[in-house]
Amino acid sequence: MQQARAAVDPAFVVAPVGRRLFGSFVEHMGRCVYTGIYEPGHPSADDDGFRGDVLDLVRELGVTTVRYPGGNFVSGYRWEDGVGPAERRPTRLDPAWRTVETNAFGLDEFVRWAARAGVEPMMAVNLGTRGVQEALDLLEYANHPGGTTLSDLRVAHGSPQPHGIRLWCLGNEMDGPWQLGHKTAQEYGRLAAETARAMRQLDPDLELVACGSSSRDMPTFGAWEATVLEHAHDVVDYVSAHAYYQLHGDDRASFLASSVDMDRFIDQVVATVDHVGARLGSDRRIDISFDEWNVWYLQEWQAQEVAPTSEWQVAPRRSEDAYTVLDAVVVGSLLITLLRHADRVTAASQAQLVNTLSLIRTEPGGPAWRQATFHPFALTARHATGTVLDLRLTAPALTTQRYGEVPVLDAVATHDVDERRLTVLVVNRHPSEPVALTTGLRGFGGGTLLEAVVLTDDDLTATNTQDDPHRVEPREHPHAAVVDGELVAQLPPASWSMFVLQVDG
């Protein structure tokens, strides 16, 4: 069995665990909204039409922020269509996903849903087909207390208190030719800066996210961020990053090493952002909002995409990937990467929350259930608290087709001083061989193992379904203990593991 060793010490802190790292994303795409979070007439629905079974799972998941309403959808969105009496709202065509949008669910419903779910709303403004004035109108409607036409309109619509949205995205994936209103970096950078300055004139305390690259593989990657920030560095707080991963053929080793790409993506964006700041002589630190990330079988979806002549539908089933054990292990590894970069990645949004490439699945009029990927997210959100520690790992190399040689293990540790808890999260990337891991705890004077779970399976293609919703779940780790002041564990191949320890400090 291959051997690996890790060391953690409470003195070596990376950054606090930002709770916004555990965000998600609700877009008007497929069935994420309609028959996902919103289904009037469902047996569990409340008076607003929000599915109670989904709300229960969202709370269990531990989501902290939710980005809305897109995504590609936002670049053609008219926010006014989704407010006021539902019977007066217009039905529109959505060119982004070639669907019919009824606008039965809009801004006010989203804010009420977010409050009920206990999450912070993250709102996106349309900078594809609209601009500065529309962003100001939306901000005034949402956040101004009252006494103006737009804020009084919100009050008349049943929301007497301002929504108080603090976190705003300045458009979405404007580097992408597929995006409505796609712009060059110069065009978008100037528009983003103008919009940010205008919004800050209404509320200087907003937190604003400029669009970064929609993929590390974009031909404009790096140059896009640099150009946009030449315009907007002093008026935004974040630059976004988006990344999706999938299994290509039977190359499981590369798929399990997907977080290597995310690591490099983050490091390169940070280097670019800091270079621009240095050139501008600015002391402002721009962080990363990794506000779209997940496993997405995009190539398969694109191959099956509806033809341009197909019938326009309301909320068709779209990208409803049934996630496997292998997908869940990769999601766990991506969360490890986000935590490891908690000093600069201070917001993130898993995409998406329900039905569309989701953590939660539903059936209209029927049940809701947890996908396999739900579990590493929920456990990480629950137990990764306090500060991220600089875990030092010595591990054998694994050779992959896509990323070359990578460490066979991916790991991170968090330390909660108040609770005297140490949490260690580890992924074994090897698709067929176990690895023995020893983690030194000398800086903590040893520890007591409180919880040890592993997510893996003899069948890595196993999924949770409506008929078998508990097929894939974490189980008690069979080979983990604290021995002579060290945590020792045998990590099964293609596995995600979590160890929670009571420590002295």
CB neighbour list of residue 432: distance below 8 Å, 6 or more residues apart = 493, 494
**In whole angstroms, what is the distance from residue 354 CA to residue 373 CA?**
12
- Locus of tokens 């069979």: 478
C-beta separation of 218 from 174 below 8 A: no
> Dihedral of CA 377/383/386/391: which sign?
negative
C-beta separation of 80 from 108 below 8 A: no
Which of 27, 140, 225, 292 is labelled catalytic? 292
Q: How many residues does the chain have?
A: 505
Burial class from Cβ neighbours inside 10 Å (0-12, 13-18, 19+) for residue 401 reads exposed
Nearest of 260, 154, 140 to residue 202 by alpha carbon: 140
Cis peptide before 352 (omega within 30 of 0): yes
**In whole angstroms, what is the distance from residue 266 CA to residue 21 CA?**
14
Which of 101, 120, 134, 173 is labelled catalytic? 173
292 as an active site residue: the answer is yes
Measured at the CA of 437, the angle between CA 432 and CA 443, to 5 degrees, comes to 160
Distances (CA, A) of 35 to 50, 228, 365: 9, 38, 8
Burial class from Cβ neighbours inside 10 Å (0-12, 13-18, 19+) for residue 299 reads exposed
173 as an active site residue: the answer is yes
**In whole angstroms, what is the distance from residue 205 CA to residue 200 CA?**
7
- CA 267: distance to chain centroid? 18
C-beta separation of 493 from 431 below 8 A: yes
**In whole angstroms, what is the distance from residue 505 CA to residue 494 CA?**
32
Strands, E, within 246-312: which ranges? 287-295
Phi/psi of residue 132, each to 5°? -60, -50
Active-site annotation, residues: 173, 292
